[in-house]
Structure 1
Amino acid sequence: MAKRNRRQGEHGLNRRALLVGGGAAAGLLIAWGVWPRDYAPTLNAGPGEEVINAFLKIDRSGQIIVIVPQAELGQGVTTQLPQILADELGADWRTVAVQSAPVSPLYANSLLARQWLSNDLSMLAGGAGEWAIDQYAIRNALMLTDVDSSVPMFHDSYRDAGAAARVLLCQAAAARWNVPWESCDVVDGVVTDGAQRRLRIGEVVAEAVRFDLPPILPLRQGNDGRLAGQDLPRLDTPSKIDGSHNFAADIRLPDMVYASIRQGPIGDAILASANESAAKGVTGLLRFLRRERWIAAVATNWWAANKALDLCDPVFTLRGRPVDSGGIEEALEAGFASDAGRRLFRQGDLLPVFEGATILASEYGVEAALHLPMEPMSATARVTDDKAEIWTATQAPGLCRSAVADALGLSDAAVTLYPLHGGGGDGRRFDHEVAVQAAILAQEMGRPVQLTWSRLEDVIQDRPAAPAHARMAAKLGRGGMIEGWLAKVSAPCAVTQSWARMADGALPHEAAADTADKASRLALSGMVPPYAIPNFAVDHYPVDVGLPIGLSRGNADIYGAFFTECFMDELAHLAGMEPMSFRIQMLGGRPRLAHCLTTAAALGGWQGGISGSGQGLAAHSMDGSHAAVLVEAGIEGNRLAVSRIVAAVDCGDQVNPDIARQQIEGGLIQGLAIAMGATAPYAKGLPTRAILGRMGLPRLADIGEVTVELLASAVPAGGTGGIAVAAVAPAIANALFTVTGQRFRNLPLLARD
């Protein structure tokens, strides 16, 4: 895949972008002041449909069509965002439908852009730096889906969209009845004046769009009849149950053919040869297509295409050292000696605390965790001379569209992207190489092509969660209080690598090398202890481990929580204190997290972490949420056995509590998978284990009882997608210590073949 052109100077927010002219604020105002600031909705309206605003259409039958820009990957975003709008509108939930949003600046995720793109320069620029990032995101239509940013980013937009529609409908009905519009309301999809007069939404929507909104939108008051906070049924469940839901591999177009692909080993691999004649006997094979870094087979069905690739046995030349597990470990250890290491978080002064003192020091390690989504990477493309259409699941549709346009030599406007729901992904679908490949194949074939990677290809080309090593040290004072804390982390940064690939078009091995000397706070998420420690420091040592890595569910908090909470248990043991009390005494400033700990302990029948109990605790905060997990675990034969998981979570005022529970339960199981397996050893540039049944993943018999308690909270909703993933593995490790007397300082917890 060719390296992207940086059209419009796009996708690189650097010193020049932030410091245009004499000063940050003045320079940015001069440089961007002439850019357009108002964007009109670009929604297509079907027969009988009225566009209310960028987030809502209503048809004359009364159907509420909510426009959702976020990718649905199973997290329930296509129910939560419509539920916010429908609640404020006063809609009947049975009339609500969902439509994916087109690429537009109106749907830019500036919240996620701030998290990813903020650096020392933007922080120094203060408000001007945040403004610059927001404008950059909007003007480049950075539509980004991260499972825990969707509701915080768009909550107010959907609430206001619902309020606007309600006001317009009330104005239209009031005009008919000759009453003040303020006396009207929308209840269960019906406009009423509170007396006997009633009109269904569809009856007045055509008139409603002609009215003007007041300067201030009145929001709905009271709790009677509200949809927010209810366990409403998910809108995507019925079609997923009956099989009518369309994923990328379900798309069918006239004259369409199917493709499979091989891309060689991990790293800088170039296609050297392929014995195409060996596959000529495969029924249905149409053609082989080659590029510098891949070969694809196109056939009348996918099985024929994949079989043909097996028979032609492509050979690749790998430049540079092949990735292997030993090399990854060596690189992580060598990272601690790198000059690129930086102290990114600090409080107090550690030197006088540690000098001459007896400290506890421990080393930890986490292997790269594979994504392993249910749906492998897939895309369908139809390309003509002057335009292209792409059907795929993507977490960055604007960037995906631009990458396809670049590959085909078209303008962005000539590419139509139809964003589909994905069968999982958890960050993997920020990469868009499958869409680019499908587009190139369709252009070459002159007919629609559906490209689906095999499971083996999906594992080989995965961009797993980052591996990491940590060196932890702490000094205990009187009463078991921690006086000093030092954490050194050697790890690549998933966000910086992923951004280089998806925004700048860097090849995976290029992105890994280019970011190897860039220390980032994003690689230390979860490493700043939530406890009241007067003196602490956290250092990041960036490194290229040879394995390109990517965004994942929980991201750096996966290893951040593991290192922090396992080390906390070691300190509690050294202090001779019960692990929960040890934590609670240092959580005076974190009452929500302390409440989670005491609740999980009470629900789980916490026995104090005594020897032989098989119980372990861990606590974690991220994305505005707080959680504590208690597990009961042991080892049966050579396999981890978890009989019980109890999670107490304060995730704020959730729009749909049942979806929050689903996310937390799913996160607990994914965290268990990371503790048990979900990784692959690497040798000679390839994973040596690519069959799911050999990865030690949890099965139903391995899980036991799962209890999730959502704590009542009036604060804005926090994230639910990653917090349980991060908290469960350290809890299991701490439980195993009570059974074996040994510390388990590596993930996965048990050594495997």
Structure 2
Amino acid sequence: MARIQTTRRGVLAGGAGLLLGLTLPFGRGMAQQAATGPFAPNAFVRIGTDDVVTVMIKHIEMGQGPYTGLATLVAEELDADWSQMRAEGAPADGQAYANLAMGVQLTGGSTAIANSFMQMRKAGAAARAMLVAAAAEEWGVPAAEITVKAGVVAHEGTGRSSGFGALSQAASRLPVPEDPPVKAAEDFVLIGTDRPKLDTVAKSNGSAQFTMDVYRDNMLTVLVAHPPKFGATVAGFDDGDALAVPGVEMVRQIPSGVAVYATNTFAAMKGRNALKVDWDMTGAETRSTAQMFDSYSAAAAEGGQTVEETGDLSALDGAAQVLEAEYRFPFLAHAPMEPLDAVIELGGERAEMWFGSQFPGLDQPTVAEILGLPQDDVKINVLLAGGSFGRRAQGTAHLAAEAAEVAKAAGRDGAFKLVWTREDDVKGGHYRPMTVHRLRAGLDADGNIVGWENVVANQSILRGTAMEMMLQGGPDATSYEGSTNLPYQFGASRIGWAEMENPVSVLWWRSVGHTHTAYAVETFLDELLAAAGKDPVQGRLDLLPGDAARERGVIEKVAEMSGWSGSVRGDKGYGVAYTKSFNTYVAEVVEIEDRGGSPHVTRVWCAVDCGIAVNPNVIRAQMEGGIGYALGTALHDRISFSPGGEVEQSNFDDYPMLRISEMPQVEVEIIQSDADPTGVGEPGVPPLAPAMANAWRALTGNRQYELPFGGGSVA
């Protein structure tokens, strides 16, 4: 019996019978630590006879903290002790585990806490009510006299007390409350306090289960030879040399390329290297990066379609001063630490998969359709993922589809592990879209902004995917989000969008459209304020309407944190930027030095308003991580195309990550709020690069119109 299969069946043997489904625990040793017993009041909570509370987490854990955050919500209403809490990834089940903000089982848009806030609290409250009812019945006392604190159910009058486990069997026989009451905010014990993440120990000691840790009996490892240019297809192949490699068992053509099946990863790699493929380049992209940018720039200059308009932009004609700028943003890879992989096993007219599925709601039906199976006969076990940044939430379900095609092409039952190498991932598309912003704005004689225009040219992320229905025949707002609905009072304004066509596949990237719109908006605004002789912080505050309390709150807080007293102090430059993304308000101030003509960020201050702070520790970690991720990209990263259309990057040597020596000191302040919680996985990213560019311009006079900072600087 395969190791992972033994572990999983061990959990099932002692698990709760009322759960809709179980998945692998996140560590090899967790089978013994997971809850054992009969009490499963709903799809989210399982309480064992050993007092352990296991929470089924419907959002994939890829480092952003839903295992901890959602378990906190359950523990709060259950009045559990944090030490007894566990978490497991929920399987694919769209009815039980749909994202309430999106209607399908999907992790994305920084919605994990926001959409689950009341749902998970109700799940915990229902379990608590049932435990209390069971104790009241067993002890013969009124339920209203029973208290629950730190995992102990007690009745003061009789001196009786119990852990959850001893009451679990009796509780399981009681009706589940339909709408149990939840706590008032002033009664919170766990929500709003720092708690250690539930997956930290397993990830630290190496026991955490990722897809590469999954081994099935007689499993073959599969690597796919993908086209060297986007839009190319297989014309033919010669597998003679590949089949001669020891360990290679077969070679099959699939829709995405040619698959090499082997008994181990090394043999599959050698076999793929030996494979000879004739590629049909008829529909291939052959333009260079420069040629693509030229076409995008021309489209932006034509103005695009209007997606937002306020007032009469002819106000620019009478402006005392008009500024213009064009910003260029390259394609970007997500580059998660764990490249794509998936295990699929066929047998008995059923399929089972193990992988870091960020979009089970699409992956499951896609696999079922390819294999010709009923959807209920395709089981997806959602494992931990070693990062994603949007890479695993694919509107085309291409990874799940490729795994299914691999299994189908094998022509037999069995287990197959599909592996993408780092080079496959960096060269394999599904990038943050290449984008051009063309901006112009006017100032009157008093330095007031009288008109603002921003035209964005890029591809639609949703077009041609299962998510295209979201467009409803209109423009793709994810392509220009963050350029519209600005809080600033600009007088007249117009936002345009030019939709570009390109065979290079694109995908959402951590903070999606805000990754480029925040940069263009906040750096151009800084130039306008400088031209008007206004302070960057006060200038932004003056542009806000009176009801913009939360926007004003984060800007004022970050100015206070950084001791803002101007853009230059001695040999250091300071820049500020503000963005609202995923309903979370963030402002950042960057301190920068000039080291031999190159920018070096030494400190970053960040103020965030994300509503109720469920776990401040996770929020700070996400802000810090987003800042580091954004900084590395701003300094180093681009996906570029050579003349002829081939991707020039392949691994971390030419697509580098931020070095530890480049990571600045970061200070995060969370604004106290009683608003419903909003996202934190992505909102820390957008303000960093513009704040950095603003600081660099203030210090050196160089305006950065193209990212990364290695190119496009204008003195």
| Shift, 1:736, TM fit | 1.3
Aligned match of 2:160: 197
Q: Which residue number in structure 2 is paired with residue 81 of structure 1?
A: 70
2:450 to 483, 489, 509: 483
Q: Could you list the per-position Cα deviations for residues 502-559 of structure 1 after superposition, in whole angstroms to 9, with x for gaps in the alignment? A: 558xxxxxx9xx9999622222211132212332221111111332210111100011
Q: Does 2:323 correspond to 1:345?
A: no
**8 Å contact kept, 2:130–2:174:** yes
Distance 1:518 1:218 in 2: 41
State the alpha-carbon separation in 2 of the partners of residues 520 and 222 from structure 1.
38
Structure 2 unmatched ranges of 5 or more: 1-17, 24-34
Alignment of 1:187-226 (within 5 A): 187-195=149-157, 196-212=159-175, 216-221=179-184, 223=186, 226=189
Query: Which amino acid counterpart does residue 244 of structure 1 have in structure 2?
Result: S
Tell me the CA shift for residue 468 of structure 1: 1.3
Q: Give 2:352's aligned amino acid.
A: E
What SS is found at the alignment partner of 1:712?
A: coil
- How far did 1:298 drift? 1.3
| Distance of 2:451 and 2:467 partners within structure 1 | 40
Contact 2:579 2:687 in 1 (8 A): yes
d(CA) in 1 for partners of 2:560, 2:22:
54
Q: Which residue of 1 is the match for residue 553 of structure 2?
A: 595
**Length-normalised TM-score, structure 2:** 0.89
1:62 is the counterpart of 2:22: no
2:120 corresponds to which of 137, 158, 181 = 158
Candidates 95, 113, 117, aligned match of 1:105: 95
Distance in 1 (alpha carbons) for counterparts of 2:533 and 2:675: 36
**How many residues are treated as equivalent by the alignment?**
674
The one-letter amino acid of 1:189's match is G
Question: Does the aligned pair in 2 maintain the 1:285–1:305 contact within 8 Å?
Answer: yes
- When residues 490 and 441 of structure 1 are mapped into structure 2, their CA distance, relative to the original with a 3 A threshold, is closer
What's the CA shift for 1:261?
1.3
- The corresponding residue for 1:310 is 273
Instruction: Point out the more displaced range, 65-74 or 345-354.
Output: 345-354
Q: Helix, strand or coil for the counterpart of 2:639? A: coil
CA separation of 1:477 and 1:49: change in aligned 2, threshold 3 A: farther
CA distance in 1 between counterparts of 2:577 and 2:36 reads 55
Deviations 1:340-397 (A, max 9, x none): x322222233234545664222221211221001011100011125111111111110
The verdict on how the C-alpha distance between 1:515 and 1:104 changes in structure 2, with shifts beyond 3 A counting, is closer
* Matched residue type, 1:522: T
CA shift, 1:693, in A, is: 2.1
Q: Distance in 2 between matches of 1:375 and 1:719?
A: 23
**Distance across 1 between alignment mates of 2:178 and 2:204:** 44
Matching residue of 1:34: none
The code of the aligned residue for 1:329 comes to F
- Alpha carbons 1:327, 1:545 under 8 Å: kept: no
1:540 to 487, 492, 497: 497
> Does the residue aligned with 1:274 lie in a helix, a strand or coil?
strand
Is contact 1:331-1:545 (8 Å) kept? no
Check 1:616–1:334 CA distance in 2 against 1; reply closer, same or farther (3 A cut): same
What letter is aligned with 1:350?
L
Of residues 729, 742, 746, the one that matches 2:702 is 742
Counting aligned pairs with the same residue, the percent is 29
- The correspondence for 1:667, drawn from 613, 626, 631, is 626
Q: Which residue of 1 aligns with 2:28?
A: none
Note the C-alpha offset of 1:190: 1.3
Tell me what 1:657 maps to: 616
Moved more, 90-99 or 532-541: 532-541
How big is the shift at 1:193? 2.4
User: 1:637 Cα deviation (Å)?
Assistant: 4.1
Higher mean displacement: 730-739 or 343-352: 343-352
Pairwise CA distance, 1:338:
6.5
Instruction: Give the Cα separation in 1 of the matches to 2:154 and 2:414.
Output: 53
Residues 185/252 of structure 1: CA separation in 2 closer, same or farther (3 Å cut): same
The TM-score with structure 1 as length reference comes to 0.85
Are positions 1:173 and 2:135 aligned together? yes
Find the counterpart in structure 2 of residue 609 from structure 1: 567
Which of 422, 425, 432 lines up with 2:388 in the alignment? 425
After superposition, the Cα gap between the structure-2 partners of 1:44 and 1:748, relative to the gap in structure 1 and judged at 3 Å, is closer
Tell me what 1:728 maps to.
Answer: 688
Deviates most, 166-175 or 176-185: 176-185
Question: What aligned pairs does 1:370-519 form with structure 2 within 5 A after superposition?
Answer: 370-431=333-394, 432-443=397-408, 444=410, 446-477=413-444, 479-494=446-461, 496-497=462-463, 500-502=464-466, 519=475
How has the CA–CA distance of structure 1 residues 354 and 143 changed in structure 2, closer, same or farther, with 3 Å as cutoff? Answer: farther
Match of 2:108 in 1: 146
**Structure 1: tracts of 5 or more residues without a match:** 1-39, 114-136, 505-510
The counterpart of 1:713, out of the listed 660, 673, 676, is 673
CA positional deviation for 1:729: 0.4
Q: Distance in 2 between matches of 1:184 and 1:147?
A: 41
Q: Secondary structure of the residue that 1:472 maps to in structure 2?
A: strand
SS class of match (2:153): strand
| Residues 1:52 and 1:428: Cα distance change in structure 2 (over 3 Å) | same
Counterpart residue number, 2:480 = 524
| Larger displacement relative to structure 2 (515-524 or 158-167) | 515-524
1:723 match: secondary structure: coil
Against the structure 1 CA distance between its residues 479 and 165, is the aligned structure 2 distance closer, same or farther, given a 3 Å change threshold? farther
Deviation at 1:147, TM superposition (A): 5.2
1:457 is displaced (CA, Å) by 0.8
Query: Structure 1 CA distance, aligned partners of 2:142 and 2:21?
Result: 31
Match for residue 42 of structure 1 among 6, 15, 20: 20
Q: Sort the Cα spacing of 1:292 and 1:549 in 2 relative to 1 into closer, same or farther, 3 A.
A: closer
Which residue number in structure 1 is paired with residue 26 of structure 2? none
* 2:600 corresponds to which of 622, 633, 641: 641
Instruction: Tell me the CA shift for residue 212 of structure 1.
Output: 3.3
Structure 1 residue 700: Cα displacement: 1.1
Following TM superposition, by how much is the alpha carbon of 1:290 offset from its aligned partner in structure 2, in angstroms?
A: 1.6
1:555 equivalent among 498, 512, 515: 512
Residue matched to 1:624: 583
Measure the CA separation in 2 of the matches of 1:571 and 1:205.
64
CA offsets 1:259-306 (integer angstroms, 9 cap, x no match): 111111342221134342223442222221222431121111101101
C-alpha RMSD of the superposition: 2.6
Q: How does 1:260-279 map to 2 (within 5 A)?
A: 260-279=223-242
8 Å Cα contact 2:370/2:405 also seen in 1:
yes
- Structure 1 contact 380–390 (Cα < 8 Å) conserved: yes
Aligned partners of 1:552, 1:689: CA distance in 2, in Å?
18
Deviation at 1:655, TM superposition (A): 0.7
Report the 3-state secondary structure (helix = DSSP H, G, I; strand = E; otherwise coil) of the residue aligned with 2:590: strand
- CA 1:380/1:43 → structure 2, altered by over 3 Å: closer, same or farther? closer
Name whichever of 629-638 and 102-111 sits farther off. 629-638
Q: Does 2:324 align with 1:334?
A: no
Q: Secondary structure at the match of 1:720?
A: coil
Q: Please state whether the residue corresponding to 2:342 is helix, strand or coil.
A: strand
1:687 to partner: Cα distance: 1.2
1:676 pairs with 625, 630, 635, which one? 635
d(CA) in 2 for partners of 1:748 and 1:663? 22
**What's the secondary structure of 2:215's corresponding residue?**
coil
Residue of structure 2 aligned with 1:687, choices 607, 630, 647: 647
**What is residue 129 of structure 1 aligned with on the other side?**
none
Q: Distance in 1 between matches of 2:426 and 2:641?
A: 11
Amino acid at match of 1:599: K
Match of 2:205 in 1: 242
Contact 2:319 2:444 in 1 (8 A): no
Aligned residues of 1:516 and 1:544 also touching (Cα < 8 A): no
C-alpha distance in 2 between matches for 1:726 and 1:153: 22
Q: CA deviation at 1:692?
A: 0.8
Q: Which of 567, 570, 574 is the matching residue for 2:524?
A: 567
